[in-house]
Amino acid sequence: MKKNFTLLLFNLFILSNAQVVLKNNGARKIYVAIAYYDKSWTTKGWFQIEPNQEASVYTPKIFGNTNFYYCATIDNCDMGIYGSTPLLVDKFNAFTFPNADNSQSINNQNLSKYKFIKTTINSFPDKTLINLNYNLICNGKKQGKWRLGLDKEGNFAEVEDDIRFYRDINFENGIPKGWVKDYYSDGKLKAEFKLLSYEPFRYDGNCTWYKPDGTIEKEQTYKNGVVISQTSSDSSGDIIEKQATYEIVKLPIQNVYINSTSNEYWKGGNSKTIIPVDLPDGTVEWYYEYTSSRSKEKVQSSANNFKLASDLSNLIDKTGLLNISLSMLTTPPGNDVCDIFLFESDYYNNFLNGTSFNHYPIGTRQNFKSGVVQIRNQPLRKPMIGVKNNDLSYGINVSIQIVAVVAKI
């Protein structure tokens, strides 16, 4: 009796180890279907696995086939984890299907063929752990934790053989969040940094790069994607420090006339116009000042006395870049109100057509006669300024000048 009990415990131990276990390393709940071949195809699903959790999904036979197949759908997402082997599943309900490679005789709208990923599992009685890593895109935007293979230049590797480094990065609605970490192929940390945006790739704050032995190669500080300080060492180990200097760059004054809303409605005029924002390379922050009036002469007089560029030059010399506030800057006079919006160039047509668009609130002024606007750490890839006249009867003249603070190191 004791011998039989010992044998039973041994068998239970073997069976408990001889499992295929799937782990969800992603940011969303997933639903997994599995498949295996034993004289015929069998599919089974769905196994619900929460983020960072595991689920035992299959016990292989002692002398069974070591090929194993799986696929997964991702909760509230328009993508999934799929391979190249088409097999039958029930899209909505729990299922077990024999002969899952043949759907000709089945008439059920819930059934469909999903493409399964093929992998090799360990021979009985060893456990097989399959990590489900996926770069998630939902509604066209990157979501959750991503792992990317990089080539020797640090760019995305299109071919697996070109991978030399790895990058771990977390996204929230397409925007990188928290620390980004790059690793050497042996798992040692290569770099850690934060990003303002991934496309275009713009560093933010304090960033550190490491040599393969773990010592620091260089440290850089970024503002609005531009390096403003750097510490590194030369071949002899001497520390080299560099600090950015700042230059004020004035863009040409833009003078526009905007029709009234009644003119737009009855005569085909325009009560809205666009001013492109073409910032010079190295811009760490930028400003614009504007004045508006029904009188062209008054607008020209105010524009001829714009003081933003000279104010910024004096303040940077005296207080440094980080200490500038709007209260230190001279606001030009104005006579009549208008609306000024800052938005991504994607909304160009929406703004002009009067349809819905998203704007950047910090860079927007509504129902003001004039002003100075400061833009720091703005996330826009291609910013544009939209000017709108809400007056029913009168057109308006507006003058705007953009001034950039450019870092050079």
CB 330 within 8 A of CB 311: yes
**Signed CA dihedral, 172, 174, 179, 181: sign only:** positive
Give the residue among 1, 112, 20, 100 at the shortest CA–CA distance from 64. 20
Question: Which residues in the chain come in under a pLDDT of 70?
Answer: 1-17, 63-64, 103-107, 123-125, 317-323
- Separation CA 262–CA 393 (nearest Å): 6
- The Cα-based distances of 246 to 2, 77, 374 in angstroms read 84, 45, 16
Backbone dihedral region for residue 300 (phi beyond 0: left; psi -120 to 50: alpha; all else: beta)? alpha
Q: What stretches of 211-311 adopt beta strand conformation (E)?
A: 216-223, 226-233, 239-243, 245-250, 254-258, 272-276, 283-293
Which tokens sit at 266? 């009855």
With tokens 């590797």, the residue in question is 157
Quick one: pLDDT at residue 211?
93
Quick one: pLDDT at residue 8?
42
Give the residue among 116, 111, 81 at the shortest CA–CA distance from 96. 111
Q: Kindly report the number of other CB atoms within 10 A of residue 117's CB atom.
A: 17
Length of the chain counted residue by residue: 409
- Separation CA 223–CA 405 (nearest Å): 11
Distance between start and end Cα atoms, the chain? 82
Q: What stretches of 91-164 adopt beta strand conformation (E)?
A: 95-98, 111-120, 128-132, 136-138, 141-150
Phi, psi angle pair for 216, to nearest 5°: -75, 130
User: Side-chain half-sphere of 32: how many Cα atoms within 13 Å?
Assistant: 26
pTM of the model: 0.67
Which residue ranges does the chain devote to CATH 2.60.120? 247-408
Query: In angstroms, how far is CA 13 from the centroid of its own chain?
Result: 46
- Separation CA 187–CA 397 (nearest Å): 60
**CATH number of 247-408, picked from 2.60.120, 2.30.30, 1.10.10, 3.30.390:** 2.60.120
**Signed CA dihedral, 333, 257, 274, 357: sign only:** positive
Phi, psi angle pair for 311, to nearest 5°: -60, -45
CB 171 within 8 A of CB 143: yes
With tokens 């899209």, the residue in question is 91
With tokens 């509604």, the residue in question is 139
Phi, psi angle pair for 203, to nearest 5°: -70, 160
- The Cα-based distances of 67 to 39, 41, 114, 183 in angstroms read 13, 12, 17, 31
Quick one: pLDDT at residue 2?
44
CB 41 within 8 A of CB 87: yes
Q: Which helix (H) or strand (E) holds 12?
A: helix 2-17
CB 115 within 8 A of CB 82: yes
